[in-house]
Amino acid sequence: MATGGDSNLEAGKLEFSLDVPFPSSHEALIALRSLSPDQEPRRGGISKQLSVSGSTLSVRWSADEARILRVSVSSFLDHLSLVIETMEMFGPSLLCDAAQVC
Amino acid sequence: MQSILCFFFPATMTVVIGFEGSANKIGVGIIRDGEVLSNPRRTYITPPGQGFMPSDTARHHRAVILTVLKEALEEAGLKPADIDCVAYTKGPGMGAPLVTVAIVARTVAQLWGKPLLGVNHCIGHIEMGRLITKASNPTVLYVSGGNTQVIAYSERRYRIFGETIDIAVGNCLDRFARVIKISNDPSPGYNIEQMAKTGTQYVELPYTVKGMDVSFSGILSYIEEAANKMLSSGQCTAADLCFSLQETVFAMLVEITERAMAHCSSQEVLIVGGVGCNLRLQEMMGVMCEERGAKLFATDDRFCIDNGAMIAQAGWEMFQSGQVTELEDSWITQRYRTDEVEVTWRD
């Protein structure tokens, strides 16, 4: 499922990618659906693509400036931690593997 | 006969959990068919002279939201399986805090296998006010740190009859509190209300009603300058300024509410939103209502100030009328007008 901007790097753009392992595809898909509805602002100089392959959530950023990229990645990690904590506290099973990323 | 039927076919109760965090309060409330089962809340309080910034507020909400959620379930004595629907604030409000709360709502909805429902924050206030006070079809004054609107229901919309053309009345009060370094604990507005009680001298301020609308930014600039000059020269006290500001802005709100009532031939007023728990505002509105033979409805700080149960209550109404929000449509929005929502649960 990992597609998107992998092969067509736009000229002058900064690219950043992150892979997050989950215990199973079930948790990875929950995280995907929780984290994808809020899009990056249009004309904000940044785009973000989320996808799931197996039990891995992959995120790819493409940004005009490092400053904008840092803000987006940092806030994504805050949100990801919150999703994982929520799964740990209110989900049916323990997510020890995923907890390592936070 | 009816009781026997009820025994064999118990009417199923609908339980909705509501998540609210559009400003500096984070709350989770649970409603079961009009009954508030739990409604815990935390407030992000900044030092005197400082407002709350979106990213700091979001950090606060992230740190406590799961504890508040746990409290809400425990206090209600419910398990996730007992919940029928997960409601959250879609907007309006500050982006970063809204996203934080929406993410937790989306995650638990999926973990528990329950439908999700995005709620307009203003509609939450109105429906909670209607539930608590039993006002059937009131003219609504919605006053808080982010909103100032006079609203009446007509033809499946809560229609805005008048509103602020710049800042909200609560924002005017909060920012004045910052100028004279009044504490933000429990809220700047509460502390202004207490100080105003000892004010004796009325300092004349601009009175800015524009038809059905109001403006507060000019009053704020004026009183900021007056505070700097008059307090240092001893011409008046901080209490006098609190008193004068309250009298002026509340008189403006009462005026536009009365005009909206006249337009709609309404005999009920409901005050909602954080500023709505100010007893001086309630008193002034009460005098106007008495003169018109109308009835005033207001609630206390538990339900006036942002809370989770109000989102659960509006969510309950929406859910009962058949609405749900798909995950991919569950984005938050900082701007979301009261009259954008089709009211599918009222005639």
Whether the bond into B186 is cis, omega within 30 of 0: yes
Average pLDDT in chain A: 86
For the segment A2-21, what is each residue's pLDDT rounded down to a tens digit? 444 444 566 789 999 999 99
Q: Which of B71, B111, B114 to mutate to test the interface with A (most CBs of A within 10 A)?
A: B111
As given in the structure block, the two tokens for residue B345 are 């649960």
Rounded to a whole number, what is the distance in angstroms from the first to the last CA of chain A?
24
Q: Is A86's CB within 8 Å of B108's CB?
A: yes
Task: Reply yes or no on whether the pLDDT at A52 is more than 80.
Answer: yes
CB contact A36 to B (< 8 Å): yes
| Superfamily for domain range A13-99 | Alpha-D-phosphohexomutase, C-terminal domain (3.30.310.50)
Positions of CATH 3.30.420.40 in chain B = 2-126+305-340, 135-303
Which residues in chain A have Cβ-Cβ distances shorter than 8 Å to B328? 33, 36-37
User: What is d(CA A39, CA B272) in angstroms, rounded to the nearest whole number?
Assistant: 32
Are residues B113 and B86 in contact, defined by beta-carbon separation less than 8 angstroms?
no
Cβ atoms within 10 A of the Cβ of B112, count? 17
> Which H or E run contains B190?
helix B188-196
CB contact A94 to B (< 8 Å): no
Q: Please tell me the predicted confidence (pLDDT) of residue B234.
A: 95
Provide block-wise average pLDDT over 10 residues at a time, chain B (347 residues). Answer: 50 94 98 98 97 97 98 98 98 98 98 98 98 97 98 97 98 97 97 98 98 98 96 96 98 98 96 98 98 97 97 98 98 98 97
User: What is d(CA B249, CA B330) in angstroms, rounded to the nearest whole number?
Assistant: 37
Task: Reply yes or no on whether the pLDDT at A99 is more than 50.
Answer: no
- Domain B135-303 in CATH 3.40.50.620? The answer is no
- Residue B159 β-bridge partners: B152
Q: Reduce the secondary structure of B265-324 to three states and give it as a string.
A: CCCEEEEECHHHHCHHHHHHHHHHHHHHCCEEEECCHHHHCCCHHHHHHHHHHHHHCCCC
Q: With a CB-CB cutoff of 8 Å, which residues 255-284 of chain B face chain A? A: none
Task: Reply yes or no on whether the pLDDT at A92 is more than 90.
Answer: no
Q: Is B80's CB within 8 Å of A78's CB?
A: no
Q: Is B21 annotated as a binding residue?
A: no
Task: Reply yes or no on whether the pLDDT at A27 is more than 90.
Answer: yes
Q: Which residue has the tokens 């009781």?
A: B3
Q: Please tell me the predicted confidence (pLDDT) of residue A3.
A: 43
Burial of A80 (0-12, 13-18, 19+ CB in 10 A): buried
Which residues in chain A have Cβ-Cβ distances shorter than 8 Å to B104? 82, 86
- The ranges assigned to domains in chain A are 13-99
User: What is d(CA B25, CA B307) in angstroms, rounded to the nearest whole number?
Assistant: 7
Q: Please tell me the predicted confidence (pLDDT) of residue B12.
A: 87
CB contact A92 to B (< 8 Å): yes
CATH architecture of the domain covering B2-126+305-340:
2-Layer Sandwich (3.30)
Q: What secondary structure letter does DSSP report for B31?
A: E
